[in-house]
Amino acid sequence: MIKEIEKQTGAAFKLKKGQKLKVIDPKGEQVSDMVLFNAEDTREKISSGKTLDFEESILITKGNFLWSNRGRKMMHILEDTNGRNDFLLAPCSPETFQIMYNNPEYHPSCFENLYTNLKPFGIEPDDVPTAFNIFMNVQFQPDGKLSVDPPLSKAGDYVLFEAQMDLLVALTACSAEDSNGGSFKPIHYELVE
Amino acid sequence: MIKEIEKQTGAAFKLKKGQKLKVIDPKGEQVSDMVLFNAEDTREKISSGKTLDFEESILITKGNFLWSNRGRKMMHILEDTNGRNDFLLAPCSPETFQIMYNNPEYHPSCFENLYTNLKPFGIEPDDVPTAFNIFMNVQFQPDGKLSVDPPLSKAGDYVLFEAQMDLLVALTACSAEDSNGGSFKPIHYELVE
């Protein structure tokens, strides 16, 4: 059964080892930030540093694993119809809009949508790690300069993950204008046995 | 007064806001992993994701700031005579040597040297974030592939940081063969008022 994450919101749920998670961009050009925790001990969580290190690549897609801060495999990426994801940049947060967008007003953010959905599982805001940013199109130049470009994902593109341990998962439909081609859309996800 | 971190070891110490820290490669081709915590509340710590996001670059050097998971400035880089540092890869750990080096034996690691030196300050191993890897020469290709090359640093090269808040700092002399041109050397550091 496909579930919908409404625009600028999030969700959190458990996933058993061996279960598969399909994250779908139903309308195209929409990012979904994902964080992972070991369901049995949430001090173990997804790590960008460990993943880029062990996968020896900035770009993480089909065939790659997502690793934890304890150097263990959390997810295997079985399929990726779009092929572009980001694992460099932190989830958009209130400071993102204050500092990068020069917007002092309240603005929904992936960080808020992650920690509010994770709160019932005992996760504090400070415990939210750098997310795996599905469909996010961050381009890098040889001099290291980064730009956040509109996602390349088309309606129906998806990434299929297989859990390598029992997991607590949080997902968002990203709230940052620049990351999503200027408009906010939902994200769909499905748990597949 | 210059202090020495012996090869394959580490150190931890406090730094007051406005104080400067000079990290020196005394012999050349030696990496030093650095992690930072807010001295008043160690749940706030250095964040690769926030730093790459707010500095809009993979390569962090003179003029850049190091940011926390709460989106606040922790350090300003005032000088960098070498100019190449890494903020992508996690500190070398027991799993690094098991998985990347296929070495099942005990091997000293930056991760161990960080958490053992941070233990007296109440920091647990799971709390150690991705480090700012001073002098580490990680090259990236347009397709995202990463390689760990010998450091470009020469004897006497240094990076000078200015604390933007009261900090708890941990530093290592890195223990990974590939990161240090195949030999292990000390790191020097100096607190400058």
CA–CA separation, A119 and A114 (whole Å): 9
Residues 6+ apart with CB under 8 A from A166: A14, A15, A16, A17, A38, A39, A40
Q: Tokens 């088309």 label which residue?
A: A154
Q: How far apart are the first and last CA of chain A?
A: 11
CA–CA separation, A134 and A153 (whole Å): 10
Residue B22, Cβ neighbours under 10 Å: how many?
16
Q: How far apart are the first and last CA of chain B?
A: 11
Q: And the tokens for B187?
A: 């790191």
**Res A30: pLDDT:** 98
CA–CA separation, B143 and A59 (whole Å): 7
Q: Return residues 32-51 of B near A (CB < 8 Å).
A: 43-44, 47-50
Instruction: Report angle CA B92, A33, A84 to the nearest 5 degrees.
Output: 80
B58/A99 touch (CB, cutoff 8 Å), yes or no: no
- B15 DSSP β-pair partners: B167
* pLDDT tens, chain A, 193 aa long: 999 999 999 999 999 999 999 999 999 999 999 999 999 999 999 999 999 999 999 999 999 999 999 999 999 999 999 999 999 999 999 999 999 899 989 999 999 999 999 999 999 999 999 999 999 999 999 999 999 999 999 999 999 999 999 999 999 999 999 999 999 999 999 999 7
Q: Per-residue pLDDT tens for B97-112?
A: 999 899 989 999 999 9
CA–CA separation, B169 and B12 (whole Å): 5
Going by the DSSP 8-state scheme, the letter that residue A137 receives in this structure is E
Closest residue to B54, CB basis, from A44, A99, A147: A99
Q: What radius of gyration, in Å, describes the C-alpha atoms of chain B?
A: 15
pLDDT at residue B193 greater than cutoff 90: no
Contacts of B129 in chain A (CB under 8 A): 49
Q: Per-residue pLDDT tens for B3-12?
A: 999 999 999 9
Q: Does B99 touch chain A (CB under 8 A)?
A: yes
- A107 DSSP β-pair partners: none
Q: List the domain boundaries for chain B.
A: 3-192
Closest residue to B69, CB basis, from A52, A126, A144: A126
Q: Per-residue pLDDT tens for B12-25?
A: 999 999 999 999 99
- Number of A–B residue contacts, CB under 8 Å: 110
Contact B193, B26 (CB under 8 A): no
Interface predicted TM-score of the whole assembly (ipTM), two decimals: 0.97
Contacts of B146 in chain A (CB under 8 A): 52, 56-58
Q: Give the strand pairing for A20-25 and A187-192.
A: antiparallel
